[in-house]
């Protein structure tokens, strides 16, 4: 009874889409990196940095979209560092990625302390407001879920479409896919493997940071430590779940977010009285693992993922 009621409520689906939005940004960012053959484990730290950079920029007086741009630039900076180490120097992508996550996270907290030395509760900003799209938002359930969101959510969905189109319909997308499959085949066609991979890692990292900024500028209106809370790692799983395809990864993000929204509501029902709430918190993760096991069996991993390419090596 309770469960059916939850599933048919507009507020549940609206929450699912809202929770999915930062995941969509970061998942698309990771997807671009991996399609180009670079596993970016810096994602968690880059999201933290993006969440902070966007929020502090707005707090310092920039407009909201200016904050988004600052977050993106911060992410691209860390992406450039990742690219130099993993692509140009060909270092282990695992080590570089974990290093970037640790560096970005601690650098963020350090900057926070330097910028706001005396503050015990972080200041609030005027976050993105819900922008209801006329007519469309009047459709029952779906309207409130899809068309009564903040502009950043619309951007996330639009981005996925543009990304899919670019990946499969343009020379740039073909080059990115090829460089993740067989860098040698790209090199002999006269393109620079390093440039394409660097570009992908930098742009992808920028998107991850925007995903982080969604948390401080749209979902909430302030910055807290541990705000990202493992979302980056979830996005890495979502890329696998989506079989490295933008559309499927988008669905994966929504599915995961729906589990999350569902468990919050389930805690408040009759079942919540008898079951410890930690069980509910685990639910999305357990279901993700199950979905991952079922979905990724026949997924086609980019063949050159995590394989550095050294020109002129014999």
According to CB under 8 A, which residues from 191 to 230 bind another protein?
A: 191
Nearer to another protein, 34 or 44 (CB): 34
Q: How far is the CB of 186 from another protein (least distance, A)?
A: 7
Using the structure block, give the residue that is written with the tokens 């014999």: 314
134 binds another protein (CB under 8 A): no
Closest to another protein by CB, 9 or 192:
192
Tokens of 287: 């279901």
Contact map string, positions 288 to 307, toward another protein, x by CB under 8 A: ------------x-xx----
**Nearest Cα residue to 253 out of 31, 41, 19:** 19
**With contact defined as beta carbons under 8 Å apart, do 201 and 82 qualify?**
yes
Residue from 186, 207, 209, 213 in contact with another protein (CB under 8 A): 186
Return phi, psi of residue 183, to 5°. -55, -35
Contact 212, 228 (CB under 8 A): yes
CA–CA dist 86, 127 (Å, integer): 36
With CB under 8 A as the contact rule, which of the stretches 81-89, 104-112, 173-181, 252-260 interacts with another protein?
Answer: 173-181
Given the complex with another protein, which of 118 and 300 has the nearer CB atom?
300
Cα 216 to Cα 137: distance, rounded to the nearest angstrom: 25
Please work out, in degrees rounded to the nearest 5, the angle formed at the alpha carbon of residue 21 by the alpha carbons of 228 and 164: 120
Which one of residues 190, 278, 294, 297 is an interface residue with another protein (CB under 8 A)? 190
User: What's the token pair of residue 299?
Assistant: 């997924």
Beta carbon nearer to another protein, 133 or 184: 184
Residues that bind another protein (CB under 8 A): 169-172, 174-175, 177-178, 181-182, 184-191, 300, 302-303, 311-312, 314
């Amino acid at each position: 009874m309770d469960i059916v009621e939850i599933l048919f409520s507009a507020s549940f689906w609206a929450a699912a889409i809202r929770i999915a939005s930062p995941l969509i940004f970061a998942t698309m960012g990771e997807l671009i990196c991996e399609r180009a053959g670079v596993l970016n484990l810096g994602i968690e730290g880059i999201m933290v940095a993006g969440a902070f950079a966007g929020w502090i920029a707005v707090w310092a007086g920039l407009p909201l979209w200016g904050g988004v741009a600052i977050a993106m630039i911060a992410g691209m900076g860390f992406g450039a560092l990742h690219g130099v180490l993993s692509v140009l120097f060909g270092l282990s992508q695992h080590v570089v990625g974990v290093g970037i996550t640790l560096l970005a996270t601690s650098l963020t907290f350090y900057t926070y302390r330097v910028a706001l030395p005396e503050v015990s509760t972080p200041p609030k900003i005027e976050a993105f407001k819900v922008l209801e799209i006329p007519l469309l938002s009047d459709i029952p359930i779906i309207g409130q879920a899809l068309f009564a969101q903040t502009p950043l959510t619309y951007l996330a969905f639009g981005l996925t479409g543009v990304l899919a189109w670019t990946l499969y319909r343009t020379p740039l997308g073909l080059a990115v896919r090829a460089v993740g499959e067989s860098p040698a085949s790209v090199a002999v066609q006269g393109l620079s493997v390093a440039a394409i991979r660097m570009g992908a890692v930098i742009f992808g990292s920028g998107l991850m940071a925007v995903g982080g900024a969604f948390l401080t500028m749209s979902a909430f209106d302030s910055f807290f430590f541990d705000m990202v809370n493992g979302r980056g790692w979830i996005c890495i799983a979502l890329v696998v779940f989506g079989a490295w395809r933008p559309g499927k990864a988008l669905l994966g993000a929504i599915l995961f977010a729906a589990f999350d929204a569902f468990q919050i509501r389930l805690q408040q029902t009759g079942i919540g009285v008898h079951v410890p709430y930690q069980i509910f918190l685990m639910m999305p993760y357990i279901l993700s693992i199950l979905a991952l096991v079922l979905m990724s069996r026949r997924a086609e991993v980019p063949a050159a993922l995590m394989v550095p390419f050294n020109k002129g090596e014999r």
